[in-house]
Amino acid sequence: MNRIRISAIAAIAAGAAAIHAASIRPAYTQGNPDLVVLIAVDQFSAALFDQWRGRFKSGLKRLMDEGTVYSNAYQSHGLTETCAGHSTMLTGKHPRGTGIVANEWFDTKAGDQV
């Protein structure tokens, strides 16, 4: 079970890094993909991904072999909360552009923390 969890975390980190890095590189001349998969794992470094790379099998190995992995990618916004970061990876926009600026916020109309 632990190996599966570590492998899943590694694949998620690679996907997250790939999505962001792809947004800062020129687009390929190929057509639009039929499917885009974003896998994100908070606090999973490229070093850990590389450490477990040789142990990937089946689906994770296929993602590695046939997908694109950017091991030196970053997000250019300063807010590192989960919701804002994931919205940035999915859209390529900064948090202010996605409307998801934090994990929680204060709703002034309702007077509640959301």
**Residue 47 to residue 9: CA distance in whole angstroms:** 12
- The DSSP element (H or E) to which 113 belongs, if any, is strand 112-113
Of the residues 29, 68, 80, 82, only one is catalytic, namely: 82
Rounded to whole angstroms, the Cα distance separating 59 from 10 reads: 12
Tell me, yes or no, if 82 is annotated catalytic: yes
Among 11, 13, 17, 25, CA closest to 75 = 17
Query: Among candidates 52, 40, 47, which has minimal Cα distance to 84?
Result: 40
Active-site positions read 82
